Amino acid sequence: MQQVTVHSLAAGKKVVIFGVPGAFTPTCSMKHVPSFIEKAEELKSKGVEELLLVSLNDPFVMKAWKKSYPETKNVKFLADGSAAYTRALGLELDLAEKGLGVRTRRFALLVDNLKVVAANIEECGEFTVSGADEILAVCRFLCFL
């Protein structure tokens, strides 16, 4: 495990940063993350150089979660255990009522050299705008090459 910053991973590159509420949760594990794993090559063909997954989990959980998928070489699993990055983006989600505490809101950002080109941010409990297909549609629309 390494300590990195999103800034260092995204500077000078075209990247997708996507956030999920939690590792091993149903929508995150069965839909959101797999959508980016499955579409990684297509996103790369549109000029996306990095796929960065952010979740408010500790690095050990993120490492175990990554290992639960057969193919993850194109997605970097990043732990935001203290919620510093999530809060800096203003994308925290209070799920204390459900016993989950503060989490990362589900989102996908299309970023070009640290500038957000598109921000697809979900309403609580939704998964309609932040998947890989929706980001691909934005890439096609913006001719993101």
Contact 129, 122 (CB under 8 A): yes
Residue 28 among the catalytic residues: yes
Alpha-helix residue ranges (DSSP H) falling in 39-131: 40-45, 59-67, 84-89
Return d(Cα 139, Cα 145) in angstroms, integer. 8
Annotated catalytic residue: which of 28, 124, 139, 143? Answer: 28
Return d(Cα 15, Cα 52) in angstroms, integer. 7
Q: Which residues are known catalytic residues? A: 28
